[in-house]
């Protein structure tokens, strides 16, 4: 027996897809990134439409200048955790800026968005508590619950009614109730009814934790996300986010309306034992926070482009998973067809995400697009045009698949 025998079923899936498209779709490499919306593979220019670069700030001059200045001032890395030598002026400035943006007294910055949920969820709960988690929660939320001794109960996706039932069944249990949802769900692009979840959570004396990784910067009058968009931000207990989407950097944060959240720095193991974010990443994110607060035009453009793309794909007959949002996903019949269609789009100048089980809800195979404020109306028209061509090619691709698989 080999240590790697357990991976045989996965290897069979990879081998089939590689045989069909002559590449690993999860191993694509760009030879150049030229702008927020353009990349290059070999000699082929690609429209980037699966990068989560929602506000297109990765090439913003102020963000780049801030990152470069931080390297000149404080070097390339901290070489230590936040509780050792890894807290610089930049880190506290960013925490203060984010707390001020959300109007909350406490903010903690982490090294990645994934680590944010690992640390905050495991640090805020213990074996006496019960975590209620949306069934479509992201992997980092699931993994965060595994780091704590708390009992975990899943409720039906985006169903405050199901949450209410499940909380009612354990109302006599000791410990705290901790409810976790997302704002904008990253695979289907659907949106949570946060106000209804707040009503249910607080009725049962619980705390609501929202991951706004894909909605911070994109929604709300000042870009704070869907809780702000729905007018309930002052009622939310904890809001988590990432720097790797709208903030065009690497890192994560959690803000809270509870000043006592600060004590959690002393117990969150992923925070205590991980090197802190680099000065350049922090400074780029800090500059991006300023853009989010002042550049409402970016939110206007991404909203318009998302509506344009959603209508175009719907008119072509694609089965879309949710109403218009910056994440637009089209269901495909199975993993093999999805891979061949993804590859055809890439070879014809359009990069989208391929998303397959087990990383997708309902075992779906998806062609997933994330729109950017940097996309133009013409960019979106080009994407729609290629999806129209793909429709005409589907019979040919199916025949090729049967032949290669056969």
- Per DSSP bridges, beta strands 106-110 and 238-242 are unpaired
- Whether the predicted pLDDT of 23 surpasses 90: no
pLDDT at 393: 83
pLDDT at 321: 97
Is it true that 5-55+296-405 and 59-294 share their CATH fold? no
- List, for residues 68-77, the tens digit of each pLDDT value: 999 999 999 9
Kindly state the average pLDDT of the residues 252-277: 97
Return d(Cα 47, Cα 44) in angstroms, integer: 10
0.85 exceeded by pTM: yes
Q: Which pair of tokens denotes residue 56?
A: 């297109």
CB-CB contact of 51 with 37 (8 Å)? no
pLDDT at 171: 86
- Whether the predicted pLDDT of 401 surpasses 80: no
- List, for residues 283-297, the tens digit of each pLDDT value: 999 999 999 999 999
Residue with tokens 């702008």: 35
- Whether the predicted pLDDT of 190 surpasses 90: yes
59-294 sits in which CATH class? alpha beta
pLDDT at 56: 98
Kindly state the average pLDDT of the residues 311-336: 96
pLDDT at 347: 95
- Whether the predicted pLDDT of 402 surpasses 80: no
Report the topology of domain 5-55+296-405. Answer: 3.90.1150
Residue with tokens 């789009």: 345
Return d(Cα 346, Cα 172) in angstroms, integer: 54
Closest CA to 94 of 215, 102, 56, 72: 102
Domain residue limits, the chain:
5-55+296-405, 59-294
pLDDT at 104: 98
CB-CB contact of 338 with 332 (8 Å)? yes
| 105: DSSP letter | S
CB-CB contact of 250 with 212 (8 Å)? no
* 3-class DSSP string for 274-299: CECCCHHHHHHHHHHHHHHHHCHHHH
Q: Which pair of tokens denotes residue 358?
A: 């087990």
pLDDT at 406: 61
| 262: DSSP letter | G
Confidence of residue 163 (pLDDT cuts 50, 70, 90): very high
Strand partners, 372: none
Return d(Cα 228, Cα 210) in angstroms, integer: 12
């Amino acid at each position: 027996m080999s240590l790697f025998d357990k991976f045989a079923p996965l290897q069979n899936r990879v081998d089939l897809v590689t045989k069909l498209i002559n590449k690993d779709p999860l191993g694509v490499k760009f030879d150049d990134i030229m702008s927020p919306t353009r990349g290059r593979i070999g000699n082929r220019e690609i429209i980037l439409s699966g990068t989560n670069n929602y506000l297109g700030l990765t090439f913003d001059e102020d963000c780049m200048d801030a990152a470069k200045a931080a390297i000149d001032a404080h070097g390339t890395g901290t070489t230590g955790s936040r509780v050792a030598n890894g807290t610089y002026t930049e880190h506290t400035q960013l925490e203060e800026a984010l707390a001020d943006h959300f109007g909350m007294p406490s903010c903690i910055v982490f090294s990645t968005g994934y680590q944010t949920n690992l640390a905050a969820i495991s640090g805020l709960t213990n074996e006496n508590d019960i975590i209620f988690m949306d069934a479509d929660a992201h992997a980092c939320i699931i993994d965060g619950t595994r780091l704590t001794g708390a009992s975990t109960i899943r409720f039906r996706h985006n169903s405050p009614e199901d949450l209410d039932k499940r909380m009612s069944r354990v109302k006599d249990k000791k410990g705290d109730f901790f409810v976790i949802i997302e704002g904008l769900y990253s695979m289907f692009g659907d949106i949570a009814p946060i106000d209804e979840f707040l009503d249910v959570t607080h009725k049962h004396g619980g705390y609501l934790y929202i991951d706004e990784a894909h909605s911070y910067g994109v929604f709300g009058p000042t870009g704070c996300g869907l809780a702000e968009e729905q007018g309930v931000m002052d009622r939310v207990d904890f809001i988590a986010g990432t720097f790797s989407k709208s903030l065009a950097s690497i890192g994560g944060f959690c803000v809270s309306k509870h000043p006592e959240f600060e004590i959690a720095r002393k117990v969150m193991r992923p925070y205590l034992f991980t090197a802190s974010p680099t000065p350049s990443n922090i400074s780029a994110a800090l500059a991006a926070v300023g853009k989010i607060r002042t550049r409402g035009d970016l939110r206007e453009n991404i909203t318009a482009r998302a509506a344009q793309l959603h209508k175009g794909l719907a008119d072509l007959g694609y089965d879309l998973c949710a109403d218009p949002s910056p994440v637009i996903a089209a269901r495909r019949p199975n993993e093999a067809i999805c891979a061949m269609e993804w590859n055809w789009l890439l070879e014809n100048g359009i990069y989208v995400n391929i998303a397959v089980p087990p990383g997708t809800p309902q075992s779906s195979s998806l062609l997933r697009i994330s729109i950017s404020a940097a996309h133009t109306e013409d960019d979106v028209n080009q994407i729609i045009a290629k999806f129209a061509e793909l429709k005409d090619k589907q019979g040919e691709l199916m025949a090729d698949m049967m032949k290669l698989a056969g």
